[in-house]
Amino acid sequence: DTEVTQTPKHLVMGMTNKKSLKCEQHMGHRAMYWYKQKAKKPPELMFVYSYEKLSINESVPSRFSPECPNSSLLNLHLHALQPEDSALYLCASSQVRGMGTEAFFGQGTRLTVV
C-alpha cells in the first residue's frame, strides 16, 4: 500500500463552521506534512509532524489546528476560516530519518470558504 488517502475530496464551509480534514497512510512513514496550494501557485508548507510530534509550524494562523493522533493519521482542524483560505490542501508523508526520501502525496482536499 503506497497510498496517502485524504478525505473529504471537496469541502465547502462557512466562516463560522468547524470542520476537519483527514489524512491516512499505512506505509510506516513517521513524517507527515500539510501543504496549502492556491490556484496556479506551488504548494506551501504548513505543518510537519515527525514521530507524531509537531516539528515545524510555518507561522500558520491559529484557525488551522493540526493533530497527529497516531503514526498513520493526520488531521487538520479548521475553525473560523476566511474566504482567502480557500485552496487545495495536500497531505504528504515520507520516512523521517534518511534525508532525501521519496514523498508520497494525497489527492488533496479542495476547500471553499464562503
Partner 1 sequence: KNEVEQSPQNLTAQEGEFITINCSYSVGISALHWLQQHPGGGIVSLFMLSSGKKKHGRLIATINIQEKHSSLHITASHPRDSAVYICAVEMYSGGGADGLTFGKGTHLIIQP
Which residues are near partner 1 by CB under 8 A?
31, 33, 35, 37, 41-45, 48, 50, 55-56, 88, 90, 92, 94-97, 99-108, 110
Query: Least distance from C-beta 79 to partner 1, angstroms?
Result: 23
Query: Least distance from C-beta 16 to partner 1, angstroms?
Result: 26
Nearer to partner 1, 10 or 70 (CB): 10
Closest CA to 20 of 51, 86, 64, 58: 64
User: Which DSSP string do the residues of 23-71 spell out, in sequence order?
Assistant: EEE-S---EEEEEEE-TTS--EEEEEEETTEEEEE-S--TTEEEEEEET
Distance (Å) of CA 66 to CA 30, 81, 91, 100, 102: 15, 14, 11, 24, 23
The alpha carbon of 110 is separated from its chain's Cα centroid by a whole number of angstroms, namely 11
Nearer to partner 1, 18 or 41 (CB): 41
Query: Least distance from C-beta 85 to partner 1, angstroms?
Result: 16
Nearer to partner 1, 10 or 62 (CB): 10
Query: Least distance from C-beta 110 to partner 1, angstroms?
Result: 7
